[in-house]
Amino acid sequence: MFINNSGVDFTMIVDIQKLSVDYSGIKVLDDISFGIAEGDFLGIIGPNGAGKSTLFHCMLGLRTQYDGTIKFFGQDIRDSRKYLSQVGFVPQKPVVDRNFPATIREVLSMSQNSSDSKKVDEALQKVWMHELADRRIGDLSVGQQQRVFIAKALVNSPKILVLDEPVTGIDQYNQDLFFQILGELNTKEKISIIWASHDLDAVERLASKVACLNKTLFFHGISKEFFSDDEMLKKYSETSMQMHMHHH
Amino acid sequence: MTFEAVSYESIPHALISGIAISLLCSVVGLFLVLRKFSLFGDALAHSAFGGVAFGLFIGIYPLWIACAVAILSALGLSKIRQKFDISGDAIVAILLSTGLGAGVILVSLTEDFEFHDIEEFLFGSAIVDTQNVVTILALAGAILTILFFTYKKILYSTFSEEQAKASGIPVEKMSYLLITMAGVTVVISMQLVGVLLISALFVLPNVSAMLYARSFKQTVILSMLFAVSATVSGIIMSYQFEIAQAGCIVLVAAAIFVGSLVAKGSGLVKTAGILAKRA
Ligand SMILES: Nc1ncnc2c1ncn2[C@@H]1O[C@H](COP(=O)(O)OP(=O)(O)OP(=O)(O)O)[C@@H](O)[C@H]1O
Ligand SMILES: [Mg+2]
């Protein structure tokens, strides 16, 4: 039930071994190892400063100074960046310059190699933003922008979606819609999802696996096991006291 | 000293090269403006001035030395910027003052130096030489072609460095490419408007366009339109009233900007969104 150190397994599409990161001498990730199998829906939980975003930055090649190895589709990401075309990423805080002169449609097609406007429309439809497609990105609310970025992550039909707290700033109704979309992407389109969240309830409802992170990985396994293990939950809430997070 | 007005014979040359330069400056400048690097053109021009002075000093035609100096120093500084996390505006200041400082020293060291040699680089001059026009057209064409094939990637890296990188775009390479193209653009344009006024062509048409445009495409088209009209009417004004060409171009560009502000402020034009919904 604890950290899975089973070594190379070819059903693993992501394989992280002994990942450690420090910022000027201070360790923020310490010896993290886990894998993601095809079709997994992995919720990554951990308090502020736990290292979730840092982990994602390493996985996506945004941070190259780390110890250990990260493999996508069996290949070390230090050797090739090709895997990125199969990965959609929604960053924690997308910064949008209010004056940036681009429509939502243009923002989505920036990440496309071809100018396939049908895919752009489809992706926008998935987040209910197609009616606003010709609005300027800076004119949207933060929550609407977040939805655009989710659509942007979907536009190239990725095999893996990496979401760093994607629903911050989205209202309850749209959060539920969004969770529904994630579920469908995972079950129907077989997209593997890696999702960092502070929302334990949502993680319990949606994720099939859970990784609990706070500098070290102190749980990685089946979601049900985590949420039915009171010891684990207690340990989790102790480490995240400062976050005022309670599991009901 | 004599600021050059356009003469009758040089009007075709001036117009052709002026239009090419305006198109180039408005597109390259747009990316710089969007990167909050509006004064980068100025910084490049000042370090190019250092290069011009160096060229005069060693007696080689200064423009290509200027080009090399501007690009190399800008590339070097942007490397340093990345490594030590220095802000963009500080880099601009460093490049600008160092280039000018070096230039001034070199000028003072150059024997039998005449102000006229450097004046055309400072304030621009009428372009009369056919060979020169051909070079300008060729370089402008080359850069616009490269931009046509890479603008999506450059735009994406401008929009969000993080997201662009995470989708596999070589963000650093794109930024070096942009700097190099900006360097060449500056050196070509120096002939038209000079070191001191180059920012006007990079910035004014774009800021005016961004007041109206809703989409990136609209911004590019409007900005090109503004830049070309400023240059063409500036050149004609210069000929008509026998006044300095560079000043005319810049003032018309500024007038377009002020006009845009007024038109927008008074609600005359709401947004260009009405004009082209799906541009
Ligand atoms: N650029 C940086 N320089 C120095 N320290 C950093 C940097 N980025 C992050 N850190 C540190 O690394 C640790 C992990 O940060 P990270 O952003 O990965 O946490 P997180 O789990 O994503 O937190 P949150 O829930 O708030 O998003 C924190 O202690 C933070 O202070
Ligand atoms: Mg984070």
ipTM beyond 0.90?
no
Distance between CA atoms of A57 and A62, rounded to whole angstroms? 5
- Structure confidence at residue A245 (pLDDT): 44
pLDDT in tens, B45-93: 888 888 888 888 887 777 788 888 888 888 888 888 888 888 878 888 8
**Stretches in chain B below the pLDDT threshold 70:** 1-5, 116, 126-128, 269-279
| Helix-helix angle B171-193:B245-265, to 10 degrees | 120
Q: Token pair for residue A134?
A: 């010709």
Which range of residues forms the domain containing residue A214?
Answer: 2-247
Q: Which residues of chain A neighbour B278 with C-beta distances below 8 Å?
A: 134
Output the CA A215–ligand 2 centroid distance in Å: 13
Instruction: Give the mutation target among A24, A48, A244 for probing the ligand 1 site: most ligand atoms within 8 A of CB.
Output: A48
Asked whether residue A15 carries a pLDDT value surpassing 60, the answer given is yes
- Residue percentage of chain A with pLDDT more than 90: 41
Q: Are B124 and B192 in contact (CB under 8 A)?
A: yes
CB contacts < 8 A, A to B, total: 74
Q: What is the CATH number of the domain that holds B108?
A: 1.10.3470.10
User: What pLDDT does residue B128 have?
Assistant: 65
Q: For testing the chain A interface, which of B35, B160, B222 should be mutated: the one with the most A CBs within 10 Å? A: B160
Vertex A3: Cα angle to A77 and A62 (nearest 5): 25
Contact A16, A60 (CB under 8 A): no
Domain count of the fold of chain B: 1
Q: Which residues surround ligand 2, an ion (CB under 5 A)?
A: A 52-53, 92
Q: What 8-state DSSP symbol labels residue A13?
A: E
Domain membership flag for residue B228? no
Residue B166 located in a structural domain: yes
Sheet of A26-37: strand order equals A26-37, A12-23, A67-72, A75-76
- Give the chain B residue nearest A133 (alpha carbons): B278
pLDDT in the model for residue A215:
86
CA-only gyration radius of chain B, Å: 19
With vertex at residue A149, the alpha carbon angle to CA A145 and CA A153, rounded to the nearest 5 degrees, is 170
In this prediction, residue B273 carries a pLDDT of: 43
Interface touch B155/A102, C-beta < 8 Å:
yes
pLDDT at B271: 57
Is residue B260 domain-resident?
Answer: no
Query: What's the confidence (pLDDT) of residue A246?
Result: 41
Mean pLDDT of A202-219: 87
d(CA A103, CA A196): 28
DSSP of A150-180, one letter per residue?
HHHHHTT--SEEEEESTTTT--HHHHHHHHH
Integer Cα distance of B195 and B232 in angstroms: 20
Q: Which of A116-120, A136-140, B250-254 has the lowest mean pLDDT?
A: A116-120
> For tokens 């070079």, what's the residue?
B135
SS3 content of chain B, % helix, strand, coil (to 5): 80, 0, 20
The model's pLDDT over A97-107, given as tens digits with 9 standing for 90+, comes to: 888 999 999 99
pLDDT in tens, A150-204: 899 989 889 999 999 877 767 888 788 888 888 888 998 889 999 998 888 888 8
Candidates B214, B53, B42, B173; CA nearest to A135 is B214
Residue B92 lies in a domain: yes
Q: Which residues contact B240 (CB under 8 A, 6 or more apart)?
A: none
> What's the confidence (pLDDT) of residue A47?
86
Smallest CA–CA distance, residue A231 to chain B, in Å, is 37
DSSP A73: T
Is residue A245 in contact with ligand 1, taking CB distance under 6 Å?
Answer: no
Residue span of the structural domain in which B121 resides: 11-199
> CA of A183 to nearest chain B CA: how many angstroms apart?
23
Backbone torsions φ then ψ of B98, nearest 5 degrees: -65, -45
d(CA A29, CA A211): 13
Question: How many whole angstroms from A48 Cα to the centroid of ligand 1?
Answer: 8
pLDDT for the residue numbered A19: 95
Q: Which atom of ligand 1 is nearest to the CA of A198?
A: 25
Nearest CA in chain A to B162: A62
The identity of residue A198, as a single letter, is H
Section A141-150 average pLDDT: 84
Q: How many CB atoms sit inside 10 A of residue A20's CB?
A: 16
A41-45 vs A192-196, strand pairing mode: parallel
Please state the domain count of chain A: 1
* Higher-pLDDT residue of B60, A75: A75
Residue A149: closest C-alpha in chain B: B163
Other Cβ atoms less than 10 A from the Cβ of A189: the count is 11
* Predicted confidence band of residue A241 (pLDDT cuts 50, 70, 90): low
The model carries a pTM of 0.86
Query: With a 6 A CB cut-off, is A27 part of the ligand 1 pocket?
Result: no
Say yes or no to pLDDT of A16 above 90: yes
**pLDDT for the residue B66:** 84
The answer to whether the Cα torsion of A104, A106, A110, A114 is positive or negative is: positive
Chain B residues touching residue A103 (CB < 8 angstroms): 214-216
Taking an 8 Å cut-off on Cβ atoms, the answer to whether A94 and B160 are in contact is: yes
CATH number at residue A14: 3.40.50.300
What span, in angstroms and rounded, lies between the C-alpha atoms of B160 and B164? 6
In tens, the pLDDT along A89-99 reads: 998 877 788 88
